[in-house]
Structure 1
Amino acid sequence: MLQNLNLSRKFNLLLLVVFLGAIALSGLAFSRILNRDAEQAVVGKANILMQTMLAVRDYTSEQINPELAPRLETEAEFLPQTVPGYSAREVFENLRKSPEYTDFFYKEATLNPTNLRDKADTFEASIVEQFRSNANLKELSGYRQSPAGRLYYTAKPIAITKESCLRCHSTPEAAPKSQLTTYGRENGFGWQLNEIVGAQMISVPASGVIDSARRAFLLFMGIVTGAFLLVMSLLNWLLRRAVINPIKGMATVANEISLGNMDADFQQKSNDEIGKLAAAFNRMKTSLSMAMEMLGQRE
């Protein structure tokens, strides 16, 4: 089939094959780089927020709780500000009031919480159970779907490492009266020392970052395709000007000479291969003309 194509079409076909191979390889490599960078951006946001919440918890545990803990016995209502998890959640909810953080989520998902807003849903409960079944597992992360779109989550286990925590979570009899007044006697008890009771989870939106990476990829492919079309058009113009048109001219002259028109001449003034071919044709025409004259003299 290729032998039936003219030189221009053969050249364009070869160039197209090379382009498709190059664009497939470069597109694949660029796509992987964009996806990796997008995921790193999402993971970076999640890690920063996680460390911030851990700092809030530490601040509450070390500075707020010692000041407010004595009042738990005298206040009519429980003071949730003494709980590190409550402080972290409240700080994060204030952060979510900003439009750019509306779709960010923080939760200390617990299987049996005192405050039911911390109750783990089905997905969160499965994360907690993974931590409970493998004590060496220190972190889990991945993607999940939500009404807000695709979310990247990172989770760390919540373990009871201090005996002081058991005062509020061992039995109702040991808990402060204000806690029982506020939350009742049914939830948040029966915890054990070193038991994993929940998971600290940060969820950040991934759809926006991934969509930006996809747009960047499409822009890249569009630019590369446009550049290829421009280069292909320029090469075709140069091919016609420097190769195809001179060859067509020589073919026309050769055809005229074959019909007996010895006045036809090959006009090519360049010093490239086409010019040398034209000069060779002119020498051949001269030799042919001399040979015909010699034959005519002999007759």
Structure 2
Amino acid sequence: MKLKTRMILAIGAVLLGALVATFVFVANSQKTQSESLYYNQAKSIDSSLSLVRTVVSGHGGVFAKQKDGFGVNPFLAAIPDVKAEMKSAKGDKFALINGFSFMQEMSDISQKEGKTAFTYRAPSDKPINPMNKPSDKELEVLGSMKDGALTEEYTKVVGEDGKKYYVYNAAMVTKEECMKCHPDYTIGGVDGMMSISLPIDEAEARNAASMLNLGYIFAAALIIVVGVTYVLASRVTAPIKHLAEAADKVSKGEMDFVIDINRKDEIGELAEAFNRLIASIKILSMTNDQ
């Protein structure tokens, strides 16, 4: 293998390795940043909802006037000693909204208005509302939370609608105000968890587009690296090739030439030494002829 080829491969391998390492670092950094953003957003929603749940449950729930699309919660009405409906002196009917229902309403509004859209559930192994019946995976996570092995858990999933979601689950410790609607729970125990799902399709698409653009940039950089490597290798090996050709001429008795390499480095010094050697050989040859 020629020196020029070896140099191109060696320099190219080093520069390519540096480019690949940089690309991987940037890609991982972007992924970490996205994961952190999802987590912080879900954590913020969890904190806000927990505060709302505490306030609403602490007051034993709130009553809102019934209207089209809103009436008595059948699951609350089925709980003994829970007054799920009341009438005003004017005859207006009001329905009870407990902590979960209040947060569910916030979730629905967020999806309708598209402002920090999220889906909220409260998976439990003792659900009142069927929508809170846990999946096998959720039941496994809830079990770990009950054992104290986990306080929170998060992952990316693909929903039944084919869209991607970031799901954040946090242990929900039963408080005294929870017992009104959940008499079979244990105060201080983990009988359920907050489950918040954030749609991330758009964010993931933006990340993918960003990585694609980054890939184009690195591809262009790679082409430039190959070009620069070729130029550098040519600059180094061209004079060496010239010296090799000169040495071949001398070996054949051709000495009527001067090596023209004007460089201020070791190769230039070698060329000058070669010219002196040729001159010495010519003088020696002329002396012998005489």
TM-score by length of 1: 0.74
Give the distance between the partners of 1:191 and 1:235, measured in 2 at CA. 71
Give the distance between the partners of 1:145 and 1:70, measured in 2 at CA. 38
- How big is the alpha-carbon RMSD for the aligned residues of Structure 1 and Structure 2? 3.3
Structure 2 residue runs of 5 or longer lacking an equivalent are 65-80
Aligned residue runs from structure 1 range 1-299, under 5 A = 5-62=1-58, 65=61, 72=84, 74-75=86-87, 79-81=95-97, 83-99=98-114, 104-132=118-146, 134-135=147-148, 137-147=150-160, 148-162=162-176, 165-170=178-183, 190-206=184-200, 208-210=202-204, 212-240=206-234, 242-297=235-290
Amino acid at match of 1:40: S
Contact (CA 8 Å) 1:257, 1:264: kept in 2 or not? no
* 1:200, distance to aligned residue in structure 2 (A): 1.4
Residues 61 and 285 (structure 1 numbering): CA distance in 2 closer, same or farther, change over 3 Å? Answer: same
Amino acid at match of 1:8: K
Residues 194 and 254 (structure 1 numbering): CA distance in 2 closer, same or farther, change over 3 Å? Answer: closer
The number of residue pairs the alignment matches comes to 269
Give the distance between the partners of 2:210 and 2:180, measured in 1 at CA. 54
* 1:30, distance to aligned residue in structure 2 (A): 3.0
Q: Identify the structure with the greater helix proportion.
A: 1
Moved over 6 A (4+): 66-71
Contact (CA 8 Å) 2:259, 2:275: kept in 1 or not? yes
Contact (CA 8 Å) 2:11, 2:229: kept in 1 or not? no
Give the distance between the partners of 2:165 and 2:133, measured in 1 at CA. 20
* 1:70, distance to aligned residue in structure 2 (A): 10
Give the distance between the partners of 1:94 and 1:73, measured in 2 at CA. 23
Structure 1 residue runs of 5 or longer lacking an equivalent are 171-189
Give the distance between the partners of 1:125 and 1:265, measured in 2 at CA. 87
Q: Deviations over 1:165-197 (max 9, x none)?
A: 444444xxxxxxxxxxxxxxxxxxx44444543
Percent sequence identity is 22
Amino acid at match of 2:158: Q
Contact (CA 8 Å) 1:80, 1:86: kept in 2 or not? no
Give the distance between the partners of 1:73 and 1:93, measured in 2 at CA. 22
